[in-house]
Amino acid sequence: MTNNLVIDFEQEIGKMETVEAGSFGKTMVVAPHPDDETLGCGGTTAALLRQGFDVRFVFVSDGTMSHPNSKKYPKARLRSLREKEAVDAVKVLGGREEHISFLALPDRDVPGQQSPYFESAVRLFISIIRSFEPETIFIPWQNDPHPDHRASYQLVTEAVSRLDKKPLLMQYPIWFWEMGDNWDVELIRKMRISCVDISPTLAAKQNALLAHQSQITDLIDDDPEGFRLSPEVIAHFNRTREIFFENINDLT
């Protein structure tokens, strides 16, 4: 059950500070899994693309733990499916396939700070960021309950800390809405909170999510433990505003 403080916080979104999508400029979206790009910031990136800004998409994990027991979709086939769904979703948002990178790190084992593979993954991100030089990077919220989301945040923030030219880091929440607690709300309230009005691109966001059929339908029907986004979860992302958090320390 969603925490009451989280519910109250979500209801405040309509009153929060609004920023123009175009203020983010040249943008990179870091998505731990295919579908996070759409859920977290699909409306904003669609607006940026409509305004002519370059947007690159980096998918961190291979997404193969969504249905780990499927015989119809063993790991290699599931990875291929999820990558195709990601490409289709990005195209619906207005992006291009050649602007997508798949890192294919192991789902649910993206290397965080304690991993022996953290340093090599950080160096990979440094290379990616330097090659594109984004003005803004959208990353998962730092305390998101999913370990891959937290690890993706750690990888990007460490990579950016080593750059001379540092992009703006904007955090988007995913599982906070369903699994956040009082401490999470208190942490977020200490951050700078911004919202983007995505009314003109909400339909594009919703259509992009439809590309992720493996995550929203019973397309993969032979794994009783398989993942599926519930209508209740999806409802959190069907608002006309997308919300982002920024560490106060990043502003100085």
State the pLDDT confidence band at 252, using cuts at 50, 70 and 90: very low
Question: Looking at beta carbons, which pairs linking 223-232 to residues 24 or more positions away fall under 8 Å?
Answer: 223/67, 223/68, 223/69, 223/70, 224/69, 225/68, 225/69, 226/66, 226/67, 226/69, 226/70, 227/65, 227/66, 227/67, 229/35, 232/178
**Average per-residue pLDDT for the chain:** 97
**Does position 249 have pLDDT exceeding 80, yes or no?**
no
The domain segmentation of the chain, as residue ranges, is: 4-247
Q: Which residues contact 127 (CB under 8 A, 6 or more apart)?
A: none
In the DSSP assignment, the letter for residue 166 is: P
* Fold for the domain defined by 4-247: Rossmann fold (3.40.50)
Task: Tell whether pTM > 0.85.
Answer: yes
pLDDT at 205: 98
**Does position 27 have pLDDT exceeding 90, yes or no?**
yes
**Does position 60 have pLDDT exceeding 50, yes or no?**
yes
**Does position 208 have pLDDT exceeding 50, yes or no?**
yes
C-alpha distances in Å from residue 64, one per residue of 33, 104, 179, 212:
9, 9, 22, 13
Q: What is the pLDDT of residues 147-164, one digit of tens each?
A: 999 999 999 999 999 999
Alpha helices (runs of H) in 105-244, residue ranges in sequence order = 118-132, 147-161, 176-179, 182-189, 202-210, 213-216, 231-235
State the pLDDT confidence band at 250, using cuts at 50, 70 and 90: low
State the pLDDT confidence band at 109, using cuts at 50, 70 and 90: very high
